[in-house]
Structure 1
Amino acid sequence: MKKLIFVPTPFPEESPHSLIKRAAQCHGFSTTGKLNGLCIGPQTFRSTSLTQNSDFAKLFVAEAGINGPRVLNGFYAMIEGPKQRRRFVIGGIEIPITYIRLRSGAYCDGCFNEGWERQIRDLKFSEFCPYHQKKYLTHCPDCHMPVEWWHALDGKCRHCVKPLKCQSCSLEECRLERMLVELMRSRSQLDFDQLLAITRQLGYIPERPTVPDATRRMIFIGAFSIMTDDSRAILEHLFKLQSLHPDVEKFWIAARFVLVTTPAAREASRIFLETKYQPLPNLTYYHAPFLLTLRQLRSVL
């Protein structure tokens, strides 16, 4: 006998968590846990539900009939390996599991109002929804409790029951996420691997996630500027860093790029150090400390 009266088929770029939420909502469940408990059983699902091997994926595929393969493609294939080296296949691109939000949520009220959520929210370094120009909520702005992926089927905080409202952002503020979406749409594994390799050279190590969010964000934006292979774009980013950290000497700002050996990066660093121009400090920015890795310090000292 059928367990479900409706099996969602994935929209382009839809997150597997969104598929699960849509199924729960269409069956009148107030939580994904109730869908899990009544249709699958009392099993742990919260950390593993993104993959094609998850209980939710198996349930949906079994219930979908001839549409099973299409439904299965709405979940991420997983390439097995040592724990830190496992990869998810998202939109044809292999992404290390250390970059994926497995349990935590990233809530956009624009996506909620539209009725489904995008894959970009599953990447840890995504802070803004580029589709609706909203800042993702990872914690309730009222009670400050975390927003997990299975929360807010009704658009409200699970803890204080207040409506979750996101702050709007400008196109410039969500530039990183817009570039990520374009990169994902290109399906270029080579370019994505290059992006992650450059972020490591700039000091982001996902296995040790102690880097402040603001620092991580600037590292990824810097990595995209390096991928352009345009010294002017890299130079613009260096001056941006200087405006965000006006009390840090230019030598140390340039040191973040010391492990990047491309001619464009070297040329931009040289011009940056030789230029006497002093950008106006960005007083509206949250000033996280300017961090360098031990490898970067050893390379310049």
Structure 2
Amino acid sequence: MIIDRIAKIVFGIISYLLVTIILLIVGFLILSGLDDINLEFLTSFPRNSMTEGGIWPSILGTVYFLSIALLFSVPVGILAAVYLSEYSKENRLQRLVLTANNILAGIPSVVFGMFGLSLFSITFGFGTSVIAGGLTLGIMSLPYIISNTHESLVAVPKSYREASMALGANKAETTFKIVIPASSSRILTGVIIAIGRIIGETAPLLFTGAAFYITRNPSSPFEPAMALPTHIFVLSAIYPDNVTPKLEGSVSVLLIIVVALFMSVAIRRRRESRKMEG
């Protein structure tokens, strides 16, 4: 009993210490750039080699890349997970596919960037463009969506399926009218987490779709665009110290977006747990 209490105290201290350190780091990075964030900073174009002006093209470009990534990865990922959980048999091939999917989720993003460069930019001829970057990010986020959706569908009780079948529904009706709606909240949570991953990625965009400095928005998806993570990389790695305020403001904006996404996930999970308890 004494050992259990000591272990509980030690693990609790370590857990709270790690959480505190993470919160302090994130809080420091956000607070350091809050003074530089204003309406002009958010809605104006960069000027004078990005030493002046704002980050509007980076924000808009991030939205473009994210939209294309989600348009590809969400339907493909959900349908793939539906097949694995509802239609495929539990055999060695299914386990192999799920294992391969988990391995893909652990591959470094720079590898996906090189893959996107080879496939979309060179083979398909998209060059450095929004569509090449968005599709690369979509492929990179696909394993997360498949894995999360599969786990969400498997978690739905079999009694739901059996009751639907007993009432005369076929397999497709049961899947799309009963199983998916019952797990929609968890699926949406996984999509939000994937969005947080996509927004913060730099390497895939450097290879496929990022423009370092533009003074106009792209007129088509076959043109390059700026993005918040690549903008931060350029400011921190290439330009001199006189852009530090722009760098801190950009970091704060990106972190605020990511923190807001993960807070929404935490709120949704808390509401779900309260409903289950109630």
Query: TM-score normalised to the size of structure 1?
Result: 0.22
* Higher relative contact order (Cα pairs below 8 Å, separated by 6+ residues): 2
* Greater helix share, structure number: 2
